[in-house]
Chain A
Amino acid sequence: MSLIKQLWLAIIFIIILAGGGIFVLSTLAAKNNLETQLQMKNIDNATSLALSMSQMQKDPVTMDLLLSAQFDSGHYKYIGLYDPEDKVISEKINANSQTKAPSWFVKLIPIDVHAGVAAIQDGWLQYGSLKLESDSNFAYDKLWEETLLIALWSLLIGLISCYVGGKILKSILNPLQSVVDQANAISEHRFITIDAPKTYEFKSLVNAMNSLSNNIKKNVSEESARLNELLVQTNFDLITGLKNYAFFESKVDASISHEEFAQGVLITSRLSNLAAIDKNLGHEKTDLFLKNIGEILKAECDHSTTLLAGRLNGADFAVFSNQQVDCYTIGSQIQNLLSKSLVNALPDSHFITTTIIVRKTDTAKKLFTLVNQVLSEINAGDKNILHVIDQSDVDNRQDKNEAEWEQQLISALQGKRIKLGQFPVSGKEGQLIHYESPVRLQLIPDGNWLPAGEFISWAYKFNLINWLDQLVLEKALELLAAGAEPIGLNVSGSAICNEEFVKATVDLIKQHSAVAHRLYLEVPEKDAFNHFAEFRSFCNQLKPYNCKIGIEHIGTRISELGKLHDVGLDYLKVDVSVIKGIDSNEANKTLLRGLGMIAHSIGTLIIAEGVQTEGESETLIQLGIDGMTGPGVKLATP
């Protein structure tokens, strides 16, 4: 039973006890009072009647008349005249009197009054004695009325007390709700802090929980800052702050290998005569200039989440887009940005830019080699040059298919020709955590099932992505309800920012709340941190239904992991760029160890993405990873 209920019961009990006690006591007091008064009246009336009778003539008629006069003019139950031998001479009895009080009341609270007795003298002789009893029915009436009145007042005061007590109780217990909420949040690994209430006991409790939350937050923030430093040192160019060659390569590879990837563009720009610039400007100024270029490219990448930028070597800068964009447009966009930086600082220098389409089958290393060859072949002379490799091929492909794509996508969505892929995420002992389930579409009925990469960018383009997401969610919940193994779905940044989608998602999950705990939803790192407020609200809305929420592709924004301490996530998936070759990369081992510590201190699982080799998976287990996914992952066969 809740504390509030118990306190309520206690208050009601006390009020009833106090009210009832006062009621009984006051009734008894009133009864005693009435008894005393009646007794005195009996005695006094008997005495005064006896006194007057003593002075009268003692003939029976006079005596009887006197008795009648007294009896009829007053409230008496009985008046009797006795001779000295205690024999009745004359008596009057009132048999008609009745009380308004119910008989049970009369029985329960009897008014016990004795008759008043007085002696009557006849000269020196005793004439007799007088017994007189007042009519107690009037007393009962009065007592009954008073009892009713007291009961009414007790009830009224009781109700008022209940009301006031309730108000007081509410104000006392008001802080309790927030304390309970905080405790629940902490048990869900959301380490939130709240304002300390004024009540002393609550205050120390809240202070304790706040300091726990703050400690976790501090630890996580410190650790992620430390890791970020490590990440920057090992993966980023120190002058420009751009990704270094190795890291850029692994990021591009990771991007290509990603399920949703279909085609991208690699833009590479080479600054001519860097050596000469260095000589002319001096080392410091050159560094400043390079830093400026780095900032321009970083700003561009922050602007668009589909872009990656890196510094391949001294004079080569690269930008990678994981979307099917027009080679020429994006190439000239980057070219313009870069050449603008030159105009004032170095009018004699130029950028030679190439763009090349990146296909699913390409690898970063192969592309870089190819681009390098092309760049060395181009003789720039003295102007900025943009060279598009295989541009015509791209144009044809895009224009021809656009209308057809849209029509086929819509028909596939309408026909619900949707299927979910199945890639296991296994735990340390090879047990299943969930199946990563990227969507597959059948554009033509009975045709091939296309992987997400082939159509997802089109779906974005035609604004069909929310529809698709919703169908995928419906499908997943349907499968779960039918008893499928846990399913993991990707949720895009645009989805969590779309209130309608979030609402529809919540409604759908509410309908299937029985299987919601087997649904895993993951948001890419970039989207989660770029739209952090929306992400937090998304989590808060879905948490009550017990579905699992995680972040995928973690590896770039490690410094921001500290923000997650009060979100209540269930798992973090570390990007393949960190995992790849982990068995031989000491820096990434340290990074992953730290990530594991952060994840575990905020109560989430940590899962490695894109595990390919046995060596990798063994190292990962040693590093304390909770689960892994990728081509090299096999489930333990029972």
Chain B
Amino acid sequence: METIGRQAGDCEDFSIAKYIFLKVLNIPDEKLRLTYVRANMAAYGVNAIRAHMVLSYYPTPQSEPLILDSLTPEILPASQRKDLTPIFTFNSNGLWLGNSTNPKASSTSHLSKWRDVLVRIKADGIEY
């Protein structure tokens, strides 16, 4: 919310925002993955390797994903993004159990950061 309001944010903020928007548009959860990637910033004029986050879209479970990245406005298949190396992906699957919309753990102090985000989004009134 803050990201959108201020029109500024880091890669994580953008990825999460995109994830939420797509979920609100009824894109099923299993097609979306938040992905930690290793980004080679040489393509953007900086000679460095950074930790980065993108949103991956898998049309089918087996297919190559489309990458929604805050570094570039274009949506490209993963094979065309040579600058990115995927490290780990996750979505809300397994955090939200079954049809339940409440976190399984009863106390927010036990939530991981990611779950904390999801809870906060929910608290902001966005249904997905």
Contacts and interface: CB of A to CB of B under 8 A. Distances in A.
Interface of A: 32, 36, 39-40, 43, 46-47, 50-51, 54-55, 83-85, 114, 116-119, 121, 123-126, 129
Q: Which of A36, A83, A85, A125 has the most CB of B within 10 A?
A: A125
Contacts of A85: 61-62
Contacts of B93: 117, 119, 129
Contacts of B90: 47, 118-119
Given A32-B106, A124-B65, A125-B62, A119 B91 contact: yes
Contact of B105 (A36, A46, A55, A129): A36
B24 interface: no
A84 B95 contact: no
Contacts of B98: 114
B56 interface: yes
B70 to A, nearest CB: 18
Which of A50, A83, A126 neighbours the largest number of chain B CB atoms within 10 Å of its CB?
A: A126
Contacts of A46: 94
Contact of A119 (B89, B104, B107): B89
A117 B62 contact: no
B95 A124 contact: no
B87 A54 contact: yes
12 contacts: A36-B105, A39-B104, A40-B110, A43-B112, A50-B88, A54-B88, A83-B61, A84-B61, A114-B97, A121-B86, A126-B58, A129-B93
Range class of the B interface residue count: 20 to 34
Determine the main DSSP class of A at the interface with B.
mixed
Nearest to B65: A124
Contacts of B94: 43, 46, 116-118
Contacts of A32: 106
A200 to B, nearest CB: 49
Contacts of A124: 56, 64-65, 78-79, 86
A139 B90 CA distance: 28
Interface of B: 33, 35, 56, 58, 61-65, 78-79, 86-91, 93-95, 97-98, 104-107, 110, 112
Contacts of B88: 50-51, 54, 121
A118 B91 CA distance: 9
The 8 closest A-B pairs by CB, nearest first: A84-B61, A117-B94, A124-B78, A121-B89, A114-B97, A51-B88, A39-B104, A36-B105
B64 A125 contact: yes
A527 B104 CA distance: 93
Contacts of A43: 94-95, 112
B61 A126 contact: yes
A119 B33 CA distance: 9
Give the one of B62, B79, B88, B98 with max A CB within 10 A: B88
B22 to A, nearest CB: 17
A55 B36 CA distance: 12
Nearest to B79: A124
A51 B36 CA distance: 11
Given A43-B94, A117-B94, A84 B86 contact: no
Contacts of B86: 54, 121, 123-124
A359 B35 CA distance: 138
A116 B112 CA distance: 14
Chain B interface, >50% SS class: loop
Given A118-B94, A121-B88, A123-B78, 14 more contacts: A54-B89, A83-B61, A84-B61, A84-B62, A114-B97, A114-B98, A117-B94, A119-B33, A121-B35, A121-B86, A124-B65, A124-B78, A125-B64, A129-B93
A24 B22 CA distance: 46
A114 B56 CA distance: 27
A36 B91 contact: no
B46 to A, nearest CB: 23
B8 to A, nearest CB: 28
Contacts of A36: 105-107, 110
Nearest to A124: B78
A121 B104 CA distance: 25
B119 to A, nearest CB: 15
Given A117-B94, A124-B65, A124-B78, A40 B56 contact: no
A43 B93 CA distance: 11
A120 to B, nearest CB: 9
Nearest to A122: B86
Contacts of B112: 43
Contact of A114 (B61, B89, B91, B104): B104
Contacts of B87: 54-55
Contact of A40 (B62, B65, B79, B105): B105
Q: Which of B64, B90, B91 has the most chain A CB atoms closer than 10 A to its own CB? A: B90
Contacts of B107: 36
A54 B106 CA distance: 30
Contacts of A51: 88
B34 to A, nearest CB: 10
Contacts of A119: 33, 89-91, 93
Contacts of B79: 124
A577 B87 CA distance: 128
Nearest to A113: B104
B98 to A, nearest CB: 8
A622 B19 CA distance: 114
Contacts of A54: 86-89
A245 B127 CA distance: 122
A47 B91 CA distance: 11
A119 B107 CA distance: 24
Contacts of B61: 83-85, 126
A2 to B, nearest CB: 49
A42 to B, nearest CB: 9
A403 B56 CA distance: 139
A32 to B, nearest CB: 7
Contacts of A117: 93-94
Most buried by A among B33, B86, B89, B94: B94
B113 to A, nearest CB: 12
Contacts of A129: 93
A32 B58 CA distance: 37
A126 B62 contact: yes
Nearest to A112: B104
Nearest to B114: A47
Nearest to A36: B105
A217 to B, nearest CB: 73
Contacts of B110: 36, 40
A55 B61 CA distance: 19
Contacts of A40: 105, 110
